[in-house]
Structures are given as structure tokens and as C-alpha cells.
């Protein structure tokens, strides 16, 4: 049946009796596809019936459906004609793991950061109203987790201010324990609340007996009192939003009925759906940690995940627990990412010193500032891509006060599979402008533990530690020191005379890119280009010893897993300019563009961040410089 669904109109043509079969086929495909490569399985298993109902009631794309955070839009993709390509989900050249405007006209917003859908919906609905397109309704599907973000409540406040703004907000609530409201009286009250005649009567009563406020308040209080017994989430109506629910989100017909009422109201309405994450797949339902929120590849029959091996997050997690034992002033903060950032081990060891603030990175940083003002040393663990959201708080709430807060950025640099919005390619650029901030980038696990310890020892300002996604890099020991930097490779002496050759290239490898620089250095030496490789360890501020070292070389090349603009490469060039060192600097990093999803290794190869690519480009740069210098020598 799913194979015959080429778009929402096909979903509308199905009979009520056929819908359970469609839902079953969708769940089977979701499990089969995610078992191969991984993906956001649990959230999508929980919204199957909800999504079917949305597409039977509304007319996408005329009625835009905006998903928050977007990782639960797999079912939406299947119902909008993308089932045939679903087996390549998140693979290079295949479907994105989030809504994608390049894939379908039904994906209005490429939304993959939480708590933003309501703001998009607010703007879309206002635009349609101003353009006279009054037959269009905007649908925003948002999870209860995303409602922990302050931006969502800012949007709700604005949506509620315009009473005839046709926005239907579907709250996908898989975190509540109370049961959905059932029975005839509850259904009748829900119908009343989205009935324009009912609203007109209330306004008429208010106008006519407005000079007797006690009577109006009593009538209004009775309405609210009855509703409070039936539907516990009155806060939405207190904001001025009509509320329908709670509804069983797995009862497709009940969802359809609620959505049709909401659509007919032609104003802002909340439809509160209770769902079960992982619904229909026992291993997900029984998974205590997160109901298979985003598993890697797993065995379809048992649900057992395939071994991932040791990753960077494991090293951070273990070292933080050790530090917590040594220092009782150490506390940790997560923004709804306890397990993904590795803070679960710290939480188990020190349950009174961990704070999960929800999807609220801004609050996380300013709360950390308060903890630091109170005499503690907070460690805030985030994905690198989400630090962008809390830049102002890091700048003016933490750094301005010179507070000892350590921010640990997981998934820094190219992350790959999750697409453009999840590549952590901005932090080394935006952090350069923060006064007093120190930034460390470890090249391997030993350096991660070493630099984390150094970071939490800093007491006169904030520190940042960043590392990539995936398997931990092989240990790369230093062969010397240059100031506080590690020298990883020095030019090799002449085979006959043993004299050290005149160095040609100084390669500055930032964090994990040090290994790539080592690979390039071997190839450069084979071309007769003597190469020094250093790892700065701390990239902000840069060690001043870098300037005299650069002066001894003909070319400096900086390699980093970050956007090229304004990052470490530019900082190195500025350092040399300030020191009057006239040596050219080449910067190698991520181009300033939104990268399509693929494996990390494939993306690094595509953008030229491999040892072979670097050696070729540096060889060409050295040759061009030699050609330019030849006339001068003559």
C-alpha cells in the first residue's frame, strides 16, 4: 500500500479501514531502514498515525507543515512520495535525515534545530494573511521537548496576539504520564472551544454585562473550572490559544477529528496529542534510555546495536568523572543531551551536581555563569553546532564577568550524516571575537584528558574544549616542544652528512587535523620539501612562539576542521602580521558553504582535507613561490 502513495492526495483517498495497514507498513519500513544505517527511529515510530492524520486533513504544500525539530519527519517524507528512496536515508546522494527543500515542495523549512517551528509558522501565517491567501493554514508539529526552549514561548506569545491567524500547533507529547481525555463531555467541550459562535457569545456577554464584572468573571470562571477538570493543560488558553486535547496520538480517527475542528476555527489552536516514542517496535518501546531516539545500525530481530568502538565522547565522559571525584566544586550542565554528550556517567556518579536544563542552550550558559558566580566550576557539554545559539550568553554573561566556565563541544567540525545544520564548523570562527576566552583542541584521547584538566584549572575566565564525532584518533606523541605547543615532526637530516635541511613548510595542525598534517608531511618530504608539523593545543590565544618559528620557514600552512573564514588560520596570519613576520600563510579548512550529508571521511575528501590533497596543494604553493623568487635572485 505504501508503494502506491505518491503524495498526500493518495493518503486522503484511502478508506478508514485501510489506514492501520498503511501505518503498519510505515513502521516496518522505518525499522528496516534504520537498522541498516541508524537514524531517528523512536520519534518517528511515535508519530505515524499523527502524520497520517495531518496529511488527510490539510493540503500540503498549500498548507505548509513545519516540523520541530525535523528529526520526526520521516513519516512525512514517506507520505509525500519518497518511499522509494528511503533505503538510502542519510547516505551520500540519498534522502536527508531532516526536511529538505531540495527534496520536496512539501518540505517548507529545513528545520533541524529545536524550538524554531512556531516562529516559522508565525511568519508564514502572517505572510499569507497580508497576501490575501486566507484559505491557507500553517501546521506546526512540535514535541514537548522542544517546548522547553524559550524561543517556542516567544513565538506562542506572538501567535496568540492575532486571533484570526490560522495556525494549528500539534504538540507531540511523548513525555506525559496522564491519560488522554475521553468521553462525550470532553469531546463536546473541545468542540465548543473551537466554535466561532461560542466565542461570539462570550464576547457578546462580556460587552453587555461588562459593567457587572463579578457576573462575567463567574461565568468565565465556570467555563475554565469545568475545562480544568477535563483538560489539564490550561496554560495554553491562558496565553490566548484555543486548546484541544489531550488526544490519543495513535488513534488516527480521533486525531483527524481534532485537526478538522482546529482547521475550521481559522485562528490559532493547540492540538495536544499524547504519543508513545518507539511505538510498534518492542526493542524501542522497552529501551529505557531514550526509546531508540537515534540508534546506530542495529539487529532488526533483537534491537541490539552494532558495536561502535571507543569514541571521543567516551574519553571525555570518563575523565570528567575522575575530575568530579577530585573536585567537589565541579558541576555539569546539559541541554537535553545527557547521554549523547557523555554526561550520563557524571550524573550517575554525582546526581546532585548535574543539571539538565532542557533544549535551552542560552539558559544553560547564563545559568552556568550564576553557578560560577556562586563559587562552582560548571562544565557545559553541547554539540558544537548548538553553541551558535548561546553565543551572546557566552560573550556577555560569562566572558564579560571573567567567569570560570568550561564549555565542551562534542561533534565539532564535519559530522556528516546529519547534514548541513549539524556540522560543527562555526565555533572556531565565532569564538575568536570573545575577549579572555581560551580554546583548546585535542588531537587524540591523551590530549583530550590533558587539555580538559588544564581547562578546568583556569579560574579567571571561560574555556572551550572541542572534539569531533566518531572513533578516537590514534595517539600521536610529541617529539619536542615549541613554547606550549607540541612539535610532532621536524625536518629529517641529510642521509649522508646528517645536517638538518633548511625548513620549507611549517604545518600547523589543529586538533585531529594534526594526523592529516603528518600524512602530508611524509609526502612533502618525498618531494624534497622539508616540513615541520606542530600542534598548538591551545588555539586561542595562540602561543607567541609561533611567530619566530614561522620566520624560519618559507611557507606556513594551517589545517583545521572548521570554516576557513575568521578561524585559526586567520588568527595565525594576524599573529604573524602583528609580529612583522613576512611569511605567506595558507589556510585549509571547510569551505564556507552548507555541506550535503555524507560520511565524515567522504566529506573531508571532497573538500580537500586529506594528506594527499594537502601535499599536492602545498607542493604547488611552494613551486609558485620559488618561481616568483627566481627573478629576484637574478
Which residues are part of a known binding site for thiamine diphosphate? 71, 112-114, 145-146, 174, 281, 361
Cis peptide before 69 (omega within 30 of 0): yes
Which helix (H) or strand (E) covers residue 319, if one does?
A: helix 312-326
Widest distance between CA atoms in the chain: 106
Query: How far apart are alpha carbons 272 and 235 in whole angstroms?
Result: 12
CB 545 within 8 A of CB 482: yes
CB 615 within 8 A of CB 555: no
CB 460 within 8 A of CB 438: no
SS3 606: helix
Q: Could you tell me the three cell numbers for 541?
A: 590565544
Strand-pair partners of 139: 65, 168
Q: Could you tell me the three cell numbers for 580?
A: 612583522
Query: How far apart are alpha carbons 574 and 569 in whole angstroms?
Result: 9
Half-sphere exposure of 141 (CA within 13 A, CB side): 38
Query: How far apart are alpha carbons 553 and 18 in whole angstroms?
Result: 73
CB 232 within 8 A of CB 178: yes
What lies within 8 Å, CB to CB, of 351 at 6+ separation is: none
Q: How many residues does the chain have?
A: 634
For cell 554573561, name the residue: 397
CA-only gyration radius of the chain, Å: 28
Binding-site residue positions for Mg(2+): 144, 174
SS3 210: coil
SS3 380: strand
Query: How far apart are alpha carbons 107 and 633 in whole angstroms?
Result: 61
In degrees, rounded to 5, the angle at the alpha carbon of residue 74 between the alpha carbons of residues 341 and 170 is: 90
Query: How far apart are alpha carbons 544 and 529 in whole angstroms?
Result: 25
Q: Could you tell me the three cell numbers for 266?
A: 481559522
CB 114 within 8 A of CB 108: no
Q: State the CB neighbour count (10 A cutoff) for residue 169.
A: 29
Query: How far apart are alpha carbons 509 and 504 in whole angstroms?
Result: 16
Q: Could you tell me the three cell numbers for 491?
A: 625536518
CB 78 within 8 A of CB 87: no
Query: How far apart are alpha carbons 400 and 397 in whole angstroms?
Result: 6
Burial degree of 572 (CB within 10 A; 0-12, 13-18, 19+): buried
CB 331 within 8 A of CB 378: yes
Q: What is the DSSP letter of 474?
A: P
Half-sphere exposure of 563 (CA within 13 A, CB side): 19
* Residues acting as catalytic residues: 277, 361, 389
Cis peptide before 284 (omega within 30 of 0): no
Amino acid at each position: 500500500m505504501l508503494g502506491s502513495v505518491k503524495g498526500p492526495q493518495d493518503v486522503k483517498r484511502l478508506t478508514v479501514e485501510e489506514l492501520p495497514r498503511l501505518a503498519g507498513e510505515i513502521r516496518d519500513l522505518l525499522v528496516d531502514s534504520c537498522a541498516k544505517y541508524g537514524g531517528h527511529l523512536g520519534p518517528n515510530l511515535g508519530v505515524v498515525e499523527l502524520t497520517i492524520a495531518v496529511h488527510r486533513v490539510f493540503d500540503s504544500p498549500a498548507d505548509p507543515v513545519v516540523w520541530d525539530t525535523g528529526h520526526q519527519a520521516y513519516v512525512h517524507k514517506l507520505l509525500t512520495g519518497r518511499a522509494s528512496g528511503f533505503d538510502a536515508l542519510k547516505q551520500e546522494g540519498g534522502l536527508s535525515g531532516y526536511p529538505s527543500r531540495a527534496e520536496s515542495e512539501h518540505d517548507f523549512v529545513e528545520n533541524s534545530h529545536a524550538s524554531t517551528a512556531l516562529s516559522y509558522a508565525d511568519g508564514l501565517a502572517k505572510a499569507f494573511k497580508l497576501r490575501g491567501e486566507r484559505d491557507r493554514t500553517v501546521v506546526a508539529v512540535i514535541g514537548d521537548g522542544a517546548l522547553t526552549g524559550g524561543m517556542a514561548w516567544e513565538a506562542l506569545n506572538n501567535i496568540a496576539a492575532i486571533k484570526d491567524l490560522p495556525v494549528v500547533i500539534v504538540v507531540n507529547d511523548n513525555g506525559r504520564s496522564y491519560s488522554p481525555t475521553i468521553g462525550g463531555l470532553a469531546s463536546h467541550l473541545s468542540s465548543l472551544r473551537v466554535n466561532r459562535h461560542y466565542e461570539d457569545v462570550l464576547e457578546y456577554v462580556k460587552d453587555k454585562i461588562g459593567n457587572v464584572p463579578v457576573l462575567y468573571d463567574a461565568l468565565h470562571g465556570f467555563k475554565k473550572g469545568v475545562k480544568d477538570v477535563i483538560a489539564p493543560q490550561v496554560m495554553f488558553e491562558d496565553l490566548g490559544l484555543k486548546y484541544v486535547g489531550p488526544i490519543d496520538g495513535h488513534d488516527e480517527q480521533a486525531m483527524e477529528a481534532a485537526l478538522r475542528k482546529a482547521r475550521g476555527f481559522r485562528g490559532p489552536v493547540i492540538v495536544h496529542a499524547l504519543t508513545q516514542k518507539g511505538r510498534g517496535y518492542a526493542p524501542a518501546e522497552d529501551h529505557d534510555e531514550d526509546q531508540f531516539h537515534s540508534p546506530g545500525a542495529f539487529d532488526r530481530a533483537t534491537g541490539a546495536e552494532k558495536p561502535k568502538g571507543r569514541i571521543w565522547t567516551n574519553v571525555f565522559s570518563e575523565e570528567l568523572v575522575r575530575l568530579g571525584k577530585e573536585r567537589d566544586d565541579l558541576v555539569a550542565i546539559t541541554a537535553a543531551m545527557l547521554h549523547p554528550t557523555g554526561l550520563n556517567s557524571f550524573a550517575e556518579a554525582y546526581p546532585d551536581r548535574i543539571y539538565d536544563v532542557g533544549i535551552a542552550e542560552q539558559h544553560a550558559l547564563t545559568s552556568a555563569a550564576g553557578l560560577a558566580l556562586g563559587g562552582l566550576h560548571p562544565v557545559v557539554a553541547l554539540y558544537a553546532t548548538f553553541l551558535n545559539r548561546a553565543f551572546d550568553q557566552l560573550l556577555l554573561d560569562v566572558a564579560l564577568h571573567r567567569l570560570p566556565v568550561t564549555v565542551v563541544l562534542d561533534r565539532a567540525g564535519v559530522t556528516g550524516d546529519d547534514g548541513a545544520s549539524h556540522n560543527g564548523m562555526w565555533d572556531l570562527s565565532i569564538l575568536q571575537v570573545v575577549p579572555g576566552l581560551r580554546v583548546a583542541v585535542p588531537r587524540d584521547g591523551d590530549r583530550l584528558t590533558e587539555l580538559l584538566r588544564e581547562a578546568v584549572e583556569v579560574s579567571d575566565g571561560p574555556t572551550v574544549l572541542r572534539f569531533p564525532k566518531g572513533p578516537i584518533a590514534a595517539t600521536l606523541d610529541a617529539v619536542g616542544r615549541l613554547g606550549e605547543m607540541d612539535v610532532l615532526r621536524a625536518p629529517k637530516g641529510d642521509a649522508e652528512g646528517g645536517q638538518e635541511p633548511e625548513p620549507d613548510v611549517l604545518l600547523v595542525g589543529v586538533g585531529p587535523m594534526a594526523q592529516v598534517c603528518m600524512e602530508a608531511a611524509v609526502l612533502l618530504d618525498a618531494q624534497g620539501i622539508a616540513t615541520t608539523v606542530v600542534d598548538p593545543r591551545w588555539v586561542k590565544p595562540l602561543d607567541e612562539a609561533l611567530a619566530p618559528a614561522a620566520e624560519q620557514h618559507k611557507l606556513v600552512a594551517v589545517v583545521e576542521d572548521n570554516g576557513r573564514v575568521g578561524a585559526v588560520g586567520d588568527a595565525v596570519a594576524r599573529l604573524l602580521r602583528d609580529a612583522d613576520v613576512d611569511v605567506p600563510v595558507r589556510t585549509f579548512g571547510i569551505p564556507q558553504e552548507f555541506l550535503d550529508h555524507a560520511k565524515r571521511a567522504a566529506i573531508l575528501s571532497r573538500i580537500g582535507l586529506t594528506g594527499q590533497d594537502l601535499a599536492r596543494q602545498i607542493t604547488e604553493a611552494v613551486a609558485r613561490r620559488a618561481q616568483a623568487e627566481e627573478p629576484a635572485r637574478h
